[in-house]
Structure 1
Amino acid sequence: MAAVDFPAEIRDLRSTYASIVEVSDLDRLRQTIRELSEEAVAPDLWDDVARAQGVTSRLSHAQSEVERLEKLGDRLDDLEVLVEMAEDAEGAERDETMAEAGRELETLRTALAQLEVRTLLSGEYDEREAIVTIRAEAGGVDAADFAEMLLRMYLRWSERHGYGTDVYDTSYAEEAGIKSATFRVAAPYAYGTLSVEQGTHRLVRISPFDNQGRRQTSFAGVEVLPFVAETDNVEVPENELRVDVFRSSGPGGQSVNTTDSAVRLTHLPTGIVVSCQNEKSQLQNKAAAMRVLQARLLERARAERQAELDALKGADAGSWGNQMRSYVLHPYQMVKDLRTEHEVGNTTAVFDGDIDGFLESGIRWRRQEEKQDA
């Protein structure tokens, strides 16, 4: 086993850490915490529940970001001390301490690489929360089942990171799986992180729905939109909307399936249709559907601006409708991103939400594409 040049490795990690701290603007984050902390103790804060939730969410995020940066700095200091201890030791104790330092070095390298990816999220809406829609495409019942597998994958990914999720609408397929589902990921930078997932996902497996055990290829589409902020001013006049109410379908708790609480909004000028049925009240469903509609209108306006500036690439590998990832369960097991070439053999882990490697490689790939187009 080759000896590790710890001083050089630590200098390299400190350089990366310094760049992350600079981009993250640690002083600004601390000032933000002070300001939000003052807002959080205001006696009238909870008079406006939505505003209160926004304040507490931003405060929690800023505190966790500062804590993460400070802990990484402390761990770098501790690593230097550990290496010094190893150099002063002898025999088996020296070997054991050096091995511990090597393991910590690798752990820190991984943690800094993950944090460095966050600094690449500098797009117009990257810091927003995300609204994700998954739709079954070609492949019949297998596609519907695949769409549900992807829904679970993203919800499990969110759960792993402690991100809140809110499922707005789920349309269940007749035999198995879902036709579509729309949910919100309530975490800063969720849009910038998950936007690289947009596109068509492909599954190859022995179909559990084919009594002859034949191999089946199915497809599901993923759409990722930025959550609409109050400052976006996405106005939707009432005379441009058609509102339909209906009874919720599929699994649900008490009251969900017994009243006409589900809401479908049709935006007449564009033909965009949005529905929400997972809340108990019609008013809650209408408000959630309106947020999704505003997000789609915001994205439509952004795309039109890009088109006018001729900024859209002619063959965008991450665009809607193009295959971007392949999940193969037979005759071998592999998940591979078709843009970045990132691949893993543990398909079970991927479907259980372990997709950070794909997200990180996708974000780096996108930044590289942007640099080439600049």
Structure 2
Amino acid sequence: MAADFSSRLDDLNGTLASIETVMKLDDLRDEIRDLEQQAGAPDLWDDVEAAQKITSRLSYLQGDLRRVEELRSRIDDAAVLWEMAAEEDDEATRAEAEREVDSLQKSIEELEVRTLLSGEYDSREALVTIRSEAGGVDAADFAEMLLRMYLRWAERKGYPTEVYDTSYAEEAGIKSATFAVKQPYAYGTLSVEQGTHRLVRISPFDNQGRRQTSFAGVEVLPVVEQTDHVDIPENEIRVDVFRSSGPGGQSVNTTDSAVRLTHIPTGIVVSCQNEKSQIQNRAAALRVLQARLLVVRQAEQKAELDALKGEGSSWGNQMRSYVLHPYQMVKDLRTETESGNPGNVLDGDLDAFIEAGIRWRKEQEATADAV
């Protein structure tokens, strides 16, 4: 028993030491000091967008450092607790130490997954677009279920989100929606969710109560930053303005504040209707367009579009199935990760699937590099 506990603690200690090496704690502390100086500048809020980036980055890095330091302290405390239990032959203290090691293992595994996000854009915020695919009204309803799932996931994590555009379907659900997750590493984390999701259930829209299979696509893009230099000449953009619409096509705004941008050379179309003013909607739509063009540019440079943006038919690019009938199961088709509680998953309980996806992607990359 004692040998097993000590062995587990040694393993956790070694894993955390590896994480500390990957995270380069000295460099992390240096960057925090630099950001603290910038955040303390009297003219910080003269540029609101830059100030928000500085304070957001500072808060995130401080949280990262605090998390590692707390885990290091907890490992030391667990060792002391176990020694106390042994000296006093106290079963309750021994059980407490074992529970703490179980908790530590889970926390360290979660942090280890974060260190696997080392891609070029992994540290960026994310732009997520969900589209209904094959399956008619059930697909539109499923797309709305996925939108809620990801927004609930972000809410559980305390990550800020902003919905830029929602295109409602006529009967129920949505044709598409685009939203931002404004958290560092949101792109690296959520990019493993990209692909076609499949739902099997008794259709609530079929008066004969038949089983229906429907599909929805998830696209995840990195938010563009100034260093990317994605400049779009004005003469390459067509701007259309229209009234924001809600479910069933009803008008939710009496002015033409919604904006649709068409990039003429590529035919890419984006829209935003969730902000109050036309200027705000245009700015938000432009950010989405820049992100899409960044992906196109990278694809042209590397000749591998799937590196950042996966596309395919409903049948050819499936990555997860949500089965509500005749049994209850959510299964990831790449990692084999499963859950027998679709209700929890659709309510945002996605961590096990996301973590498995990140590990799976890293293994795929390592295999490709070895070939």
Q: Which TM-score applies when normalising by structure 2?
A: 0.95
Amino acid at match of 2:12: L
What SS does structure 2 have at the residue aligned with 1:5? Answer: helix
Q: Counterparts of 1:66 and 1:199 in 2: how far apart (Å)?
A: 33
Report the more deviating stretch, 260-269 or 205-214: 205-214
Structure 2 residue 362 is matched with structure 1 residue 367: yes
Q: Counterparts of 1:47 and 1:264 in 2: how far apart (Å)?
A: 30
Q: Counterparts of 1:289 and 1:349 in 2: how far apart (Å)?
A: 32
Show the counterpart of 1:162: 158
Show structure 1 runs of 5+ residues with no match. none
Q: Is the 8 A contact 1:144 1:179 kept in 2?
A: yes
Percent of paired sites with the same residue: 70
- By how many angstroms is 1:31 displaced? 1.3
Q: Counterparts of 1:135 and 1:303 in 2: how far apart (Å)?
A: 22
Q: Is the 8 A contact 1:324 1:337 kept in 2?
A: yes
Matches within 5 A, 1:289-328: 289-307=285-303, 319-321=310-312, 322-328=317-323
Matches within 5 A, 1:197-346: 197-250=193-246, 257-307=253-303, 319-321=310-312, 322-346=317-341
- By how many angstroms is 1:319 displaced? 3.3
Q: Counterparts of 1:89 and 1:354 in 2: how far apart (Å)?
A: 41
Show the counterpart of 2:59: 60
Matches within 5 A, 1:74-153: 74-90=73-89, 94-153=90-149
Q: Is the 8 A contact 2:246 2:252 kept in 1?
A: no
Q: Counterparts of 1:167 and 1:346 in 2: how far apart (Å)?
A: 27
Q: Counterparts of 2:364 and 2:7 in 1: how far apart (Å)?
A: 31
Q: Is the 8 A contact 2:128 2:221 kept in 1?
A: yes
Structure 2 residue 60 is matched with structure 1 residue 69: no
The total of aligned residue pairs comes to 361
Amino acid at match of 2:212: Q
- By how many angstroms is 1:241 displaced? 0.4
- Judged with a 3 Å threshold, the aligned counterparts in structure 2 of structure 1 residues 4 and 335 are, in CA distance, closer, same or farther, namely farther
Report the RMSD for the aligned CA atoms in angstroms. Answer: 1.5
Q: Counterparts of 1:282 and 1:28 in 2: how far apart (Å)?
A: 42
Give deviations 1:241-277, integer Å, cap 9, x for gaps.
Answer: 00000000016xxx96121100000000000000000
Report the more deviating stretch, 36-45 or 55-64: 36-45
Q: Counterparts of 1:210 and 1:56 in 2: how far apart (Å)?
A: 50
Amino acid at match of 2:51: A
Q: Counterparts of 1:362 and 1:237 in 2: how far apart (Å)?
A: 38
Q: Counterparts of 1:84 and 1:320 in 2: how far apart (Å)?
A: 55
Q: Counterparts of 1:29 and 1:323 in 2: how far apart (Å)?
A: 38
Show the counterpart of 1:349: 344
Report the more deviating stretch, 33-42 or 276-285: 33-42
Q: Is the 8 A contact 1:243 1:263 kept in 2?
A: yes
Q: Is the 8 A contact 1:262 1:275 kept in 2?
A: yes
Report the more deviating stretch, 124-133 or 29-38: 29-38
Q: Is the 8 A contact 1:256 1:280 kept in 2?
A: no
Which of residues 150, 162, 177 in structure 1 aligns to 2:173? Answer: 177
Structure 1 segments of 4+ aligned residues over 3 angstroms from their partners = none
Q: Counterparts of 1:115 and 1:262 in 2: how far apart (Å)?
A: 41
- By how many angstroms is 1:320 displaced? 2.3
Q: Is the 8 A contact 1:256 1:279 kept in 2?
A: no
Q: Counterparts of 1:348 and 1:71 in 2: how far apart (Å)?
A: 33
Q: Is the 8 A contact 2:296 2:305 kept in 1?
A: no
What SS does structure 2 have at the residue aligned with 1:324? Answer: strand
Q: Is the 8 A contact 1:256 1:278 kept in 2?
A: no
- Judged with a 3 Å threshold, the aligned counterparts in structure 2 of structure 1 residues 95 and 261 are, in CA distance, closer, same or farther, namely same
Show the counterpart of 1:24: 23
Show structure 2 runs of 5+ residues with no match. none
What SS does structure 2 have at the residue aligned with 1:142? Answer: helix
- By how many angstroms is 1:4 displaced? 6.4
Show the counterpart of 1:8: 7
